[in-house]
């Protein structure tokens, strides 16, 4: 590691000192800038000579880091489909030629080689028009594209517009799962219907409004009926909303976009998400914890985001081929205009605390993977009334820990007994009572992180 030295600069206002840490940061920044492809004379002259023009125009297009893999893979493929790559160049410091730099991106076992720092000389396969494109990284995988072309070249002027049409029908995002910022969900959910414990009625309602609706969407279109749908999963934390979403995401073979509250920061974001969903349709659009999105609750009053959401759901513009799936811990706080009108959310499934039958099924579901004695679950089921599936999972997990302790953590000997299960139940109920006392003294109007329902797309814990 290089040593850190203070740097003293003489200025008209007196000496200016950077300490060792600041000096190293400054040096690193300068090095990064020098290693970028500059707007050099060599790059510009090379482009002008290749295009054979005295009047070269340049359009700059930005690709941000999170969208870089999806957009760059498709853009490079679009260029190779429509242009002949006649040369790939690169320049470093002092206009010195250097090797082109590519970035390797891996998705589902496939590796894609994407342009990072280079200049491509391209000849259109049909018209023969020549353009150059400079790929210029400026911060990580944030990229500036400088598209150079003769001022009369229509191909050059429209290359990005034409690419975006190609993008929505040919990108790796089509029929894939990704976030609203275009970043891939690299470990998509694998949960299946047998992994979640739902009432028969709730499971049937979900399949009818999501899975079957996608499969038979053409029947609605043929009869001039709306081919969009809205489904809301409501219930307190730990009751299975996350896992149910994961099951549905895994079960439908359509484009799936997950929208988090971080994706919606300003007016126009919701409209933009729906526009994207329509272009990728058929699309499952998943809104994570809709009650945490600013402006969607009644407390926010007449908020621009609420108006956007209402317009998107009710189809002020065509919402064809889009099914909206939203989860909420607090349906009672959502604006009535959002939840009390068919055509916005057409179906609401309440996932409350499981009844006795479901509690027994959930316990058995967790216990089936553990070595255990013949257990009497009736008393456990009775004692756990009012507990969510997440708490039932914790009971089984705690019982397993107790069995390990009793056997010096020898997993080959560990076996869950009735005693372990009863002790675990007692511990969890005691813990729950303490939480209830704390809740009684808390300001429940304040938002809680747990309002997110612990939603992680790559996790699929039963009822939780």
pLDDT in tens, 56-85: 999 999 999 999 999 999 999 999 999 999
- Give the model's pLDDT for residue 441: 66
Q: Is there a contact between 88 and 118 (Cβ–Cβ < 8 Å)?
A: yes
Secondary structure E strands in 204-299: 229-234, 255-259, 283-287
Distances (CA, A) of 327 to 9, 133, 189, 453: 57, 43, 17, 9
Q: For the CA atoms of the chain, what is the radius of gyration?
A: 29
Q: Does domain 193-350 have CATH number 3.40.50.300?
A: yes
State whether residue 390 is helix, strand or coil.
helix
In this structure, the number of other CB atoms found within 10 A of the CB of residue 65 comes to 14
Tokens of 264: 């919606």
Distances (CA, A) of 236 to 207, 239, 382: 22, 6, 20
Q: Is there a contact between 239 and 351 (Cβ–Cβ < 8 Å)?
A: yes
Q: How far apart are CA 240 and CA 206, in angstroms?
A: 13
Nearest by Cα to 257 from 235, 239, 282, 240: 282
- The correct CATH number of 356-442 out of 3.30.9.60, 3.50.30.40, 1.10.8.60, 1.10.3720.10 is 1.10.8.60
State whether residue 147 is helix, strand or coil.
strand
Nearest by Cα to 218 from 129, 143, 321, 315: 321
**Domain residue spans of the chain:** 1-28, 41-172, 193-350, 356-442
Tokens of 173: 């995002």
Tokens of 240: 């299975």
Tens digit of each residue's pLDDT, the chain (464 residues): 445 566 666 666 667 676 766 666 666 565 455 445 455 667 788 899 999 988 999 999 999 999 999 999 999 999 999 999 999 999 887 778 899 999 999 998 899 999 999 999 999 999 999 999 999 998 889 999 999 999 999 999 999 999 999 999 999 999 999 999 999 998 888 999 998 888 899 999 999 999 999 999 999 888 888 888 889 998 888 888 989 999 999 999 999 999 988 877 777 888 899 999 999 999 999 998 887 765 455 454 445 567 777 777 765 556 889 999 999 888 777 766 666 566 678 888 988 888 999 999 999 999 999 999 999 999 999 999 989 888 999 999 999 999 999 999 999 999 999 999 999 999 999 988 887 776 666 555 444 444 443 333 333 333 33
- Give the model's pLDDT for residue 134: 95
Tokens of 217: 């969407």
Q: Is there a contact between 285 and 323 (Cβ–Cβ < 8 Å)?
A: yes
- Give the model's pLDDT for residue 449: 41
State whether residue 62 is helix, strand or coil.
strand
- Give the model's pLDDT for residue 30: 54
- Give the model's pLDDT for residue 9: 65
**What class, spelled out in words, does domain 41-172 have in CATH?**
alpha beta
State whether residue 209 is helix, strand or coil.
helix
Alpha helix ranges (H) inside 142-185 = 154-157, 159-170
Which residues, in sequence order, are CB contacts of 178 under 8 Å at separation 6+? 70, 184, 185, 256, 257, 258
Peptide bond into 282 cis (omega under 30): yes
- Give the model's pLDDT for residue 40: 60
Distances (CA, A) of 224 to 106, 227, 323: 42, 9, 17
Which residues, in sequence order, are CB contacts of 25 under 8 Å at separation 6+? none
Q: Is there a contact between 58 and 148 (Cβ–Cβ < 8 Å)?
A: yes
Q: Which residue has the tokens 């260029």?
A: 79
* Kind and range of the H or E run holding 243: helix 241-251
Q: How far apart are CA 303 and CA 295, in angstroms?
A: 5
Q: Is there a contact between 453 and 329 (Cβ–Cβ < 8 Å)?
A: yes
- Give the model's pLDDT for residue 95: 78
In this structure, the number of other CB atoms found within 10 A of the CB of residue 357 comes to 11
């Amino acid at each position: 590691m290089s040593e850190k030295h203070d740097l003293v600069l003489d200025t008209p206002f007196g000496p200016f000192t950077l300490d060792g840490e600041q000096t190293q940061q400054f040096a690193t920044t300068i090095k990064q800038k020098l290693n970028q492809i500059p707007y050099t004379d060599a790059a510009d002259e090379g482009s002008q000579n290749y295009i054979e023009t005295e009047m070269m125009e340049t359009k700059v297009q930005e690709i941000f880091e999170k969208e870089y893999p999806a957009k760059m893979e498709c853009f490079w493929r679009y260029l190779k489909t429509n242009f002949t790559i006649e040369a790939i160049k690169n320049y470093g410091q002092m206009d010195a030629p250097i090797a082109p730099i590519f970035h390797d991106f891996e998705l589902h076992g496939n590796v894609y080689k994407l342009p990072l720092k280079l200049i491509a000389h391209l000849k259109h396969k049909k018209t023969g028009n020549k353009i150059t494109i400079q790929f210029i990284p400026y911060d990580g995988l944030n990229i500036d594209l400088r598209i150079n072309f003769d001022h009369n070249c229509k191909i050059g002027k429209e290359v990005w517009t034409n690419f975006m049409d190609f993008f929505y029908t040919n990108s790796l995002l089509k029929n894939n799962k990704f976030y609203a910022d275009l970043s891939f969900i690299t470990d998509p959910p694998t949960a299946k219907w047998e992994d979640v414990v739902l009432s028969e009625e709730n499971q049937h309602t979900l399949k009818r409004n999501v899975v079957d609706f996608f499969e038979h969407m053409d029947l609605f279109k043929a009869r001039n009926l709306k081919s969009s749908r809205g489904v809301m999963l409501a219930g307190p934390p730990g009751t299975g909303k996350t896992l149910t979403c994961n099951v549905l995401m895994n079960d439908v073979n359509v484009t799936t976009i997950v929208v988090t509250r971080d994706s919606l920061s300003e007016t126009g974001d919701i409209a933009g998400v729906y526009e994207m969903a329509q272009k990728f349709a058929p699309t499952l659009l998943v809104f994570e914890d809709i009650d945490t999105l600013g402006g969607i609750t009644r407390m926010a009053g007449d908020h621009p985001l609420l108006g956007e959401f209402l317009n998107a759901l009710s189809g002020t513009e065509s919402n064809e081929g889009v099914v909206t799936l939203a989860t909420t811990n607090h349906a009672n706080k959502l604006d009535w205009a959002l939840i009390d009108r068919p055509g916005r959310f057409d179906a609401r499934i309440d996932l409350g605390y499981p009844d006795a039958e479901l509690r027994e099924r959930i316990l058995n579901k967790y216990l089936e993977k553990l070595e255990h004695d013949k257990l009497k679950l009736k008393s456990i089921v009775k004692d756990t009334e009012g507990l969510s599936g997440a708490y039932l999972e914790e009971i089984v997990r705690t019982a397993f820990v107790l069995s390990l302790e009793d056997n010096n953590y020898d997993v080959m000997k560990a076996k869950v007994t009735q005693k372990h299960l009863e002790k675990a139940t007692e511990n969890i109920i005691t813990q729950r009572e303490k939480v209830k006392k704390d809740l009684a003294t808390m300001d429940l109007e304040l938002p809680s992180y747990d309002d997110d329902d612990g939603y992680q797309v790559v996790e699929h814990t039963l009822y939780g």
